[in-house]
Amino acid sequence: MRVFVTGATGFIGTAVIRELLGAGHQVLGLTRSDAGVEALRAAGAQAHRGDLDDPDSLRSGAAASEGVIHLAFNHDFSRFVENCALDQRAIGALGSALAGSDRPLLVTSGTGLGSAAPGCPATEDHFDSHSPHPRVASELAAASVAARGVNVSVVRLPQVHDTVKQGLIAPLIAVAREKGVSAYVGDGANRWPAAHVLDTARLYRLALERREAGARYHAVAEEGIPARDIAEVIGRGLKVPVVALSPEEAPAHFGWLGMFVGMDMPASSALTQERLGWHPTGPGLIADLEQMRYFG
């Protein structure tokens, strides 16, 4: 299959490209820079110049392909709502090139959209279209293009990690380095789900190949790691104290991360594993955090 991948030179996108090429697929990767073009060619993929802000480039890339994996997202979380709206428009542009065909479109969301009640693990089959979570825009866009005849499915991400990057935990480490303490909120019992980047890449490939319209998948290897455990391993790595903050203290300490750090966000992948035969094998989050280079 010839697959158009947005976010092709990013952390997850790079792993997805290797996974697709290793399985015999061809890849057309979206990039906006000369360096991106060179990186894609070096990886064995073709480059397609464009940007999330350029709907014509998204449509032409999708039109030239037999399937699309949409990974690109602006991760400036200080403009999270605005960036979710941009993602909504990008999905609409990609879908417009695929309408009326069986060519699969995989869009990306977050596991938090599967949470039905506080404290309960998020599940694949739950979706609240009225959720206050800004990333709901991505799944609403998926539903909109599905109504126009697009074979669309959703991959929901937790904290995706290796020993270099770890989703929202990477900026958490930066805050700990800057402030000189590794902090958590309250008793630190709130949980974050996680998956290794190579397991996540394999899930995207399996979901693409399955081509099941309307499916939702959770790229979750670990249902929920307590925030205190995460803070403690960061503290050991940076050799800084580990401290508890009150919810009132969190915004000033964490900045934009303050909206996330106290959230309890466990998530299940039981249905994903059953439906795709996907069984994560990579290192756990704490293991990767213990092996990363905190200085250098």
**Domain count for the chain:** 2
* Class of residue 51 by CB neighbours under 10 A (exposed 0-12, middle 13-18, buried 19+): middle
- Within this chain, do residues 216 and 86 fall inside the same structural domain, yes or no? yes
The predicted structure's pLDDT at residue 80: 87
Asked whether residue 276 is domain-assigned, the answer is no
- Within this chain, do residues 150 and 232 fall inside the same structural domain, yes or no? no
The predicted structure's pLDDT at residue 78: 78
- Within this chain, do residues 255 and 204 fall inside the same structural domain, yes or no? no
Report whether pLDDT(53) > 80: yes
The predicted structure's pLDDT at residue 200: 98
Residue 87 sits in which domain range? Answer: 2-160+195-222
- 2: tokens are 């010839």
- Within this chain, do residues 79 and 14 fall inside the same structural domain, yes or no? yes
Mean pLDDT of 52-75: 96
Residue 68 CA to residue 63 CA, distance in Å, equals: 9
Asked whether residue 278 is domain-assigned, the answer is no
Asked whether residue 277 is domain-assigned, the answer is no
- Within this chain, do residues 105 and 182 fall inside the same structural domain, yes or no? no
Indicate which CATH number applies to the domain containing 175: 3.90.25
Report whether pLDDT(159) > 80: yes
Asked whether residue 275 is domain-assigned, the answer is no
- Within this chain, do residues 73 and 115 fall inside the same structural domain, yes or no? yes
Report whether pLDDT(296) > 80: no
Residue 189 CA to residue 208 CA, distance in Å, equals: 35
The predicted structure's pLDDT at residue 119: 87
pLDDT tens, residue by residue, 196-205: 999 999 999 9
- Within this chain, do residues 182 and 117 fall inside the same structural domain, yes or no? no
Rounded to two decimals, what is the model's pTM?
A: 0.96
- Within this chain, do residues 90 and 170 fall inside the same structural domain, yes or no? no
Report whether pLDDT(132) > 90: no
Mean pLDDT of 241-266: 95
Residue 253 CA to residue 257 CA, distance in Å, equals: 9
- Within this chain, do residues 94 and 20 fall inside the same structural domain, yes or no? yes
Give just the sign of the alpha carbon dihedral 196, 202, 204, 207: negative
Lowest mean pLDDT among 9-13, 78-82, 249-253: 78-82
- Within this chain, do residues 41 and 173 fall inside the same structural domain, yes or no? no
- Within this chain, do residues 156 and 115 fall inside the same structural domain, yes or no? yes
The predicted structure's pLDDT at residue 32: 94
The predicted structure's pLDDT at residue 198: 98
Q: How far apart are the first and last CA of the chain?
A: 41
Backbone dihedral region for residue 274 (phi beyond 0: left; psi -120 to 50: alpha; all else: beta): alpha
